[in-house]
């Protein structure tokens, strides 16, 4: 089921960076995200819920 909050996301394993694009069009890069956590997000039934619980407010980020 598609997320109502997250349009798309991409994980760069070499840089441990998670790039997230929200349905609003805003894009953010989150740094130092462990590869295992990104894999868990891929499998999560609610991407937005997972993001809010496990990534937002836990990792440094920049807005694109």
On the question of pLDDT at 2 being above 90, the answer is: no
Asked whether residue 53 is assigned to any structural domain, the reply reads: yes
- CA 52 to CA 23: how far, in whole Å? 15
Asked whether residue 13 is assigned to any structural domain, the reply reads: yes
3-state secondary structure of 11: strand
Asked whether residue 30 is assigned to any structural domain, the reply reads: yes
Q: State pLDDT tens for residues 13-60.
A: 999 999 999 999 999 999 999 999 999 999 999 999 999 999 999 999
- Structural domains in the chain (count): 1
- CA 9 to CA 38: how far, in whole Å? 10
Q: Global pTM?
A: 0.92
Q: Where are the alpha helices (DSSP H) in 1-64?
A: 35-43, 47-54
Structure confidence at residue 28 (pLDDT): 98
Structure confidence at residue 59 (pLDDT): 98
* Residue 13 lies in domain: 6-63
Asked whether residue 1 is assigned to any structural domain, the reply reads: no
Asked whether residue 48 is assigned to any structural domain, the reply reads: yes
């Amino acid at each position: 089921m598609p997320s109502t909050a997250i349009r798309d996301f991409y994980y760069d394993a070499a840089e441990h960076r998670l790039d997230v694009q929200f349905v609003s069009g805003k894009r953010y890069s989150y740094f130092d995200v462990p590869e295992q956590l990104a894999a868990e997000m891929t499998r999560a039934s609610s991407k937005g819920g997972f993001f809010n619980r496990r990534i937002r407010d836990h990792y440094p980020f920049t807005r694109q």
